[in-house]
Each structure stands twice: as C-alpha cells, then as structure tokens.
Structure 1
Amino acid sequence: MNASPIIQFERVVKSFGKTRVLEGVDLTINKGEITTIIGKSGEGKSVLLKHIVGLLEPDSGAVLFEGRAIHTLKSAERKRIKRNFSYMFQGTALFDSMTVYENIALPLVETTKMAGAEIRKRVGIQMEQFDLGESANKYPSQISGGMKKRVALARAMVTEPQVILFDEPTTGLDPVRKNTVHSMIAGYQKKYGFTAVLVSHEIPDVFFISQRIAMLDHGKIVFQGTPTEIRNVESQEIRNFIQGIEGRADEMTGMETQSLVEKRFEQEMARLVSHHIDFSIVSFTFENLAEIHRHVGFLAGQTVLVNFAGFLRQQMGIGDTSSRLGLNRIIVILTNTDRNRARMFCERLSHEIKGENLLSIQPYPGFCLSIQVGFAQAFSGVNMEQLIQEAESGMNTLLEFKIC
C-alpha cells in the first residue's frame, strides 16, 4: 500500500532581507514515515523545519498539512493543527530551572486544559517508557547528555503528536550515543507510528532509520527518495556530498562504511570473474535488540553491537572486510572463501563467542542475546543485495548464536 502525504511543500520561497534561503521548495513527507533532510550547512534545513511547525511562513508558495495550506487557515484552525506537531530542538532546550518531571509536563501545562491528575498520569507513563522514573526530581544539570536527549524526546511525545520534528538531535554526542538516539527515535516511531522529520548530518547513520531522504541544495530539493535510491543516484554532486560526509570508517564500530564495502564487493566480483577466486558473504542480524532496549535501555543495546563488532574484527582475516548495514545488521565479506569455509568461519565464531565478550550490562531474568547468522558464496552475475538476501534466506543453513 502506498504511503499518503501528510505534509507538502509547493514552490515555497523564503527570504531574509536580500538573502533568499528557500528557492521554490517542492517536498512531500509521507504519513507514518521517518524523512530526513540532509544538505550542506547553511542551506536552510532548519528554516524548512520552522515552516512545517508554523514558526515561519512562506513568502510565496504553500505548506500543506493533510492537503490544506496552513497559512490560509483561520487562527483557531491553525492553532488546532499546530497541536498535531512537536519539536525536539537542537541541544534539547531543556529548562535548567525545572526538574525532569516539570520539563516533560510543560507542553501539557501550557497548551492543554488537562487536570493535574491527568497530567501526572500522562507524564508518569512517559517517564516509565523512557526509563526516567528515578530522575523525576533531578534538574538537567544533574543528568547525563544521553538522558537529556531522552527527556527532550519524552517532552516532545507527551502531547501524543502526529508529527515530531528533530533538528540535529545528536549534536554534541559521541558515536555510540548518537546511534543510541537514532535507535530511540526509530524504536518509538515504530511503536507509536508518528511521522518524524529529521534534519541531520549523520550519514550514513540516518539512512538506517529513514524511509525517505530529501537533500536541500541552493534552496531547492535536489533529491527525494529512499536511502537505497540516493546511494544509487547518478548525480555526481550528490554522490560526492554523501561520500564526503560519510568518511572512511563507521564512527561507532570502526568497521568500513557501506560505500567502501560495496566497492570491495565489486573488486571481489572482478577477481571471481577474471581469476575464479571465490569469496562469500556472512550476514549477522541481532534479533532481539528491541527487547534489550526495553529492559535495560538503548545505550546498552548499542554497546552490545559495538562489542560484537570488535569481537568480529578480531576473528576476520587480513583481507576480509565488514560493515554495519542497519541498526541491527552487520555483514562480512570473506575473501578467498567458498561456502564450506564460510560455514567453518561461522562455526568457529559460535564456539569462540562468550557473553563476557559482548555484555556490558547486568542481564535481566530470562535474558538471551540472539544473533541470526547466514552465509552465501558469490557467483557470477549476482549483486551484493541479492547475495545478502540469499545468505539470509531459508535456502542456507541459518545459524543462531544465543548468549544467555
């Protein structure tokens, strides 16, 4: 079923003095999806967000919400529509003089007529969902940067909005905590179904959580489509931008980036065709990261992923390469390896891997980390996506590492 638009920009123009920031923007944001806006610094991405939430109005053109141009509506109707939106600001924008509880409750106090008991109930649910109960009476200065992000997201969600806007939500965080915030956004979006719009420079990490990517350049949307489509786009300018931001290694795991692994795949395919040198792919999928997130927090889940990546790199050969392909997926390209040797690699891993290699958390009752493992040998004419699908299909022996 095709997704339906919830927000649309139609030829939106915005200037500040003599500087034109938005130059006829056309953009569609689909309901119930995560859309990420990327682009160079100073291109107007935050200005675009402020048009969505109604903090700015276009000089010309229109911003539509569910097919209605917002700036043409009467004041009461615009206020009603604004209640469907929430905004997670860059740097969290928590109030230092308010406790965690008071910060989360603020949108309900200021924008609704809820009774005190109902507000306490709603805020209590949010604090429980975000594991903030023990910090209710603390002030922002007394909690960690990662916890501040959780408080800001809890505040953004407390009004149960249809749309949440995120302006550089990972600014100032280290790589593990950046991915913790991304996992948190993706996890709660999947659970509650809100529409999310992110402004971010975190490439390729945002590709792992987004259904759609839009690129803003010189005041115009020069691309909108899926993460796969932007990786395969013909425009050299867009490809150069992505590769320039992406770097040569995944910040969180130290593994190669997806772009470099794709290049390695092509090199190995050329060797296979020309010199009949075998290679194989192994795919690892963490089946129950969501359960870990729910029981012991998003940071713990990301730490497990980082620890596994470190363990995996130690087991790989000098010519092998690996990459993170999603929030819960890692692949390895094993050079000079046929299907039988790939199986042996997996079996050796299953014997070597121990709980202490991965777990930096206190396991909860009934805890088991489940990692599904599939492998496939490359053959002439196959592309990387097809080979990964074969590795993960039931046609091959599917191993499972269980760490309890």
Structure 2
Amino acid sequence: MSLDRRMFLRATAVAGGAAAFSGALWHQAFAAGPAQPGPSPYGPLQAADANGLQLPEGFTSRIVARSLQRVEGTRHTWHPAPDGGACFPDGDGWIYVSNSEVPLVGGVSAIRFDASGKITSAYRTLNGTTLNCAGGATPWNTWLSCEEHDLGLVWETDPRGQQKAVARPAMGRFKHEAAAADPERKVVYLTEDQSDGCFYRFRPRTWGDLSSGTLEVLVGNGTGPVEWAKVPSPNIWLTPTREQVAGAMRFRGGEGCHYTHGVCYFTTKGDNRVWAYDAAAEQLDIAYAPDLVTEGEAPLRGVDNVTADAAGDLFVAEDGDNMEINLITTDGIVTPFLRILGHDESEITGPAFSPDGSRLYFSSQRGKSGFIAGTDGYTFEVTGPFRH
C-alpha cells in the first residue's frame, strides 16, 4: 500500500480533529498498519543551534538546568541523571518536575517558571528514594514518581513541595517505569521495565486517592481484544507480580506511558514498539515498530519516554540511537522533530509540555560525557509554534 493511501485512510479517520481521535476512530486510523515515515508537519531539521539542538524552523532552545550545578537565579543544585518529568500549572506560571535515576538519593526536583518563562525558584519534592525513573501526572496535579527496582514503589509527590511525598504500595512493588492516568475509566496504567515485564492498571477504591485499590495485569494473546485480571499480592510477595497471573501478557522492557484521547500509548525497548491500548474497546494494537516499516527507513529506534501535544501527536524520546525526539502524528506519520548533537552516549528523558502547549521540556540524562552516573545531565526547553 502506498504512503499516500495510508495517509488518506488516516486523514479520513481523524477528519473530525484531534478530539475525535479515539476509540473506534483510532482503529480506523491505523487500519492501514503502524505509522510509516513521512514529512514532518514542522518541516525539516535546521542546522544545530548554540545548544547543539537541531530544530525545525521557527523553534528555539535554552538550557534550563545542568546536573550538579545551581539552577540559574536560585540556590538549588540540579540533580544527576534527570529522567521522567511533567509540567503542572501554578498560578500564572508553571512547574516542571524531574526524577533523578540514581540509587539511594534519587528523588524529584522541580523548577518553577513565571508567566514569561523566567525561572523563579527550584527545590526538591522527594528525597531518599532510589532509581526514580519515569512516572506520570495525575488529574489532581500530583506527580507519580516510579522507582525502577524489583521492590520499587510509586511515590505520590506535590509539585509545589508543600505536601510530604507519600508511598503508594497498593500500586504494587515491582520494577516500575511509567504511569498514565485515565480519568474516564478512573484508573492508572503502569509499565514494568523487565525483559518479560507486564502492563498493569490500578483501580483506586476512590478516584483521587491512591492509598487503596486493586492492581490488575493485562491478559491476552497479542494484538486485538484483551482483558484484565487481578494481581493477588501486589505489595508483599514471594512470587513477583508479573508471575502471579497465568496468561499475563509479556512485554520486552516497558518504558514510557501516556494517555490521550481515549488511548494509552506505551513503549517497549526490547522490540522498539509503540503500543496503543484502546481503553473503551479493550483492544491492543501496534502504533509503530521499525520492523513493520514498509515505506523507507525507520527513523525512530531506542523508544523510551513518550508524551503528546494538544493536537494528539505523540513525541517519543530515544534512548541512544541518534538522540532524537520523533513525532508520530495523528495521520500515522513517524518523523524526527528534534535531534541533539554531541550527546552520543546519553538518552533523552522527561519530555513534557507546558500547560499552554508552547514549550517542550526534556533532558539529556548523561549529557556530553555519557558518564553513567548522570553528573553531566542537561535539561532543555524548546519554544515554538507547536500544533494545537
């Protein structure tokens, strides 16, 4: 099937706009198969700017933080190995939170911006945890910071730093990666960074209170209809959560996770797939995979953290490869959005949009040095005409 034909099918399915890109329409959009390479809606990448970023025309960048250095205008020292992140509204400005993927001291830091984008403060919101990898924002404006080790917990944190962070053991003890809240079904989806990991959802007893509820695991035989089964012992176990339910689906290293327009997208690094779980229909499909590219060369490899803009386009960060954030557009095109030069041994982490959608934040976890401890991490901001 030609690329033009694929684009036509997808464009037809999403003709109602991004708000309609959900449920049955999502399945129509991808009836032609997973996303294929094509032109970016933002145009080609330009020459690298002073910060080493190749961006489309009309976009600019700045470095807002460096690991083990004070955040400009504050007395706060930015953490090593910046990982998952999210933005939250705060008065007339906003806050960007970022995990630290190091052992023992991990935790979360935050940067507050005023309405003009000026940094006004930076501070810690969680201390003394270990290997805080990714996570997810909640509709009630807290940040779920996930520990990536066998007995890892989800910590619910206050981006403003005013409330004490609280562990949420009911959400399971396992090698957590990312979380994504689904306010329609009132659940939180969770990925697991194991080579034979699972995909979970947590159903809190009361929406907005994660202290108690039911952890469930996805059960099925591949793409198509799937269902959920209760994990018997999510918190205190001798048998790991991923081994407790017969028929639980296996995924090769769960990474990023993001819910938008009725679909939960998540990535798996072992096979470079971007999965799409249609929450209403309870069906699983593949939104992108390099081995399923039939039109040209696959631009996206090393899939990792993922977010989406207001238009419904996905922004997928690469762990390694050529250090890009790639778009997967609502019409099924996969294409580079930006590239970082000179950070060859690093990975891109923590992509998140400001509340108004005009700025994209992300980090290069190990920076130019590539040192595994992440002491050379960079956190960037990109501003420009993002689609809405």
Same fold (TM over 0.5): no
Give the TM-score of the pair, scaled to structure 2: 0.24
- Give the strand-richer structure, 1 or 2: 2
- Give the helix-richer structure, 1 or 2: 1
Structure number with greater Rg is: 1
Give the TM-score of the pair, scaled to structure 1: 0.24
Higher relative contact order (CA closer than 8 Å, sequence separation 6+): 2
